[in-house]
Amino acid sequence: MARKNKEPEKKKKVNTDGVMGLHGSTTEQAISETLEINYMPYAMSVIVSRAIPEIDGFKPSHRKLLYTMYKMGLLSGGRTKSANIVGQTMRLNPHGDAAIYETMVRLARGNETLLHPFVDSKGNFGKVYSRDMAYAASRYTEAKLDPICGEIFKDIDSDTVDMVDNYDATMKEPALLPTTFPNVLVSANQGIAVGMASNICSFNLKEVCDTAIALMKNPDHDILETLPGPDFSTGGELLFDEAATREIYTTGRGSFKLRAKWRYVKEGNLIEITEIPYTTATEVIMDKVAELIKAGKIKEIADMRDETDLGGLKLTIDLKRGVDPDKLMQKLFRMTTLQDSFPCNFNILIAGMPRVMGVGAMPDEGTAWRTDCIKRRLFFQIGKKEEKLHLLKGLERILLDIDKAIRVIRETEMDSEVVPNLMIEFGIDEVQANFVAEIKLRNINKEYILKQTKAISQLEQEIADMRATLESAKKLKNVIIKELQAVSDKFGQPRKTEIIYDAAEAAPEDEGEEIPDYPVTVFVSKEGYLKKITAQSLRMSGEQKFKEGDSLSFTKETTNKAEFLVFTDKFQCYKSRLSDFDDGKASLLGDYLPQKLGFEPGENLVSLQFCGDYKGFVLFFFENGKAAKVPLSAYETKTNRKKLTGAYSDKSPLVCAMVLEEDVQIALYSSDGRAAIFSTAQLLPKTTRNTQGVAVMMLKKKAVLQNAVLLENSGIVNPGRYRTKTIPSAGALIKEEDSGDKQQSFEV
């Protein structure tokens, strides 16, 4: 019988952060330590070795597949079964045949994902614009490398890139590919890592090469001149927005707006959609249209079908009688992904570190990388030529006295002593002596001797030229420029995505459902909260509620269809309608305008003005004492544009803005206690929105214009004291009876 322990065994403390040890035992470990030891290596592996592309424009999976095909001789040879390629790639990429084949599909010409495919495919590889079209199995398709891969692997055997061990150290693979053009911008790429992601759109190869060349010649080059926007393999139209494009070019983040390309066929009363945004699929569009028809939101369509064939993509819409095709397409652009956005996140690995880069910086990084490749190539070629030169110089010594060499060889008894004897007699090293000893007897004629002697001087000149190139940044730059120009001439192609520069005027306002119209009262707080309250709710409500520290700025009676303009301190104007806001109550805070209208970080509301039928003008008053009178019609748009940049002058901070239908008397107040009254009829309207205006109040040093209100709302008892017939005016010191707290108007 087994002896029992005298004392019961103490239970080991099990921590929720514990980890299992050997034999099932549990040891304590801090959660931070668990993350550092177990999770961080995984996260870094996903970021560095899987999801984020590097400066050559490839992820590791792309690079391993293409290099395998290169080593299989598929750059110049015929196609082979895709299954064969997948199997060979497993020597470098042990992630299974399905993952490898999916990578090949994306790189294939048949799939149409890339502007410049790297795989010349045969068979069904699916389509990037179709969600449901499945690609054939690897045993049914064939592939080889596309000719452009000659630029991807150029001089890879000349030590241009580092070669590293594969996963089991049985063979070598390139750490990067020495691509001769900025492929990172030419090939679209998307990846999701741990805690970060990358989404890179494609640009036209010729435009990218031209941009890289222009930046090398002039670092201050405006890349928008040579790179107007992305180019997608699915074509479509790019709605150009200069501000958004420059932001992406500078920061590497933002989005491009894309829409489908269509045509109206009068004979059949139908619309044919031939190109769609890169971000959507035909099935997504068809499903959404069917949903809208079923919901009764679209009644103009009789039928919609997919007529895609070998000729390319085509979605056909049969119209009902009397339907305006333009209005229908504008409605579809608003309600479906026929108009979509491509979000950009130019996150790439530079020297193993993830970095979000502006498009403008990427050609520079590519040039630096390519410069390093060319230097390594030149070093490699110089080494090879110096080896050959070394052999020829040894041969030169022998050929000067060939008879002596023959005599040395003939008089040497042992074969093993031939090389040492030649070294002693002619003062050459072992490598040179071995080379000389292997020369054929037929090659000791006069012609051979002269030819080899001439080769020595030619080699010396070539080596000198290469060294001069290595030492000259200008010559290295010229080598890169010539290569870029050659790639552009050989593989450049016209843009597939058409750029629409007047995009802002291309889409009319939503004319969908009728907007109900009824009387409402609007309350706007000083911090930017807006409440829209119906007449019935207002009669039943009590005191208006505001956020702590906030108070009423103004109130106005209007209708639900009324439009208003919001001017901010970032020189921007946002347009909106009251119908976009829900009916509120006095007990609610209301909608926060900066959030509702999508203000930029740090942007603040300065003035909210109702614009009526856009008759009249807007008055802008600036701290420097100037005022600008701009026709209200300058802010009227027949588009769905909600934001207008450069809405007013940026030369001085905006004090206030007011919309007026006719000329009135305005009271101005300065920070040093002075006031002036003038008539707006003294201001001439300016045609440009960002006009600096004219001086209306002369200010003393360090004084600023502090406020401007309608005279009737100013509380001034004796206006004659402050009124002026000419502008600018210095005004007069405010008397006590005129300085009441009446400068804040609560009606507009």
Active site residue 140: yes
- HSE, CB side, 13 Å, CA atoms: give it for residue 556: 20
Query: Coil, strand or helix: which one is 35?
Result: helix
HEC assignment per residue over 44-84: HHHHHHHHCCECCCCCHHHHHHHHHHHHCCCCCCCCEEHHH
630 phi, psi to nearest 5 deg = -120, 130
Q: Is 47 exposed, middle or buried (0-12, 13-18, 19+ CB in 10 A)?
A: buried
Q: Catalytic one among 140, 167, 249, 448?
A: 140
* Among the listed residues 219, 190, 196, the one whose alpha carbon sits nearest the alpha carbon of residue 363: 219
CB 43 within 8 A of CB 50: no
Residue by residue, DSSP assigns 200-263 as E----HHHHHHHHHHHHH-TT--GGGT--S---TT--EEE--HHHHHHHHHHSEEEEEEE-EEE
Query: Coil, strand or helix: which one is 119?
Result: strand
Question: Going by C-beta distance under 8 Å and a sequence separation of 6 or more, which residues neighbour residue 226?
Answer: 207, 210, 211, 214
CB 611 within 8 A of CB 659: yes
CB 571 within 8 A of CB 604: no
**To which H or E segment does residue 270 belong?**
strand 270-275
* Among the listed residues 34, 356, 351, the one whose alpha carbon sits nearest the alpha carbon of residue 193: 356
**To which H or E segment does residue 616 belong?**
none
Instruction: Could you list the beta-strand ranges (E) of 674-740.
Output: 674-679, 694-695, 705-710, 732-733
Q: Which residues are catalytic?
A: 140
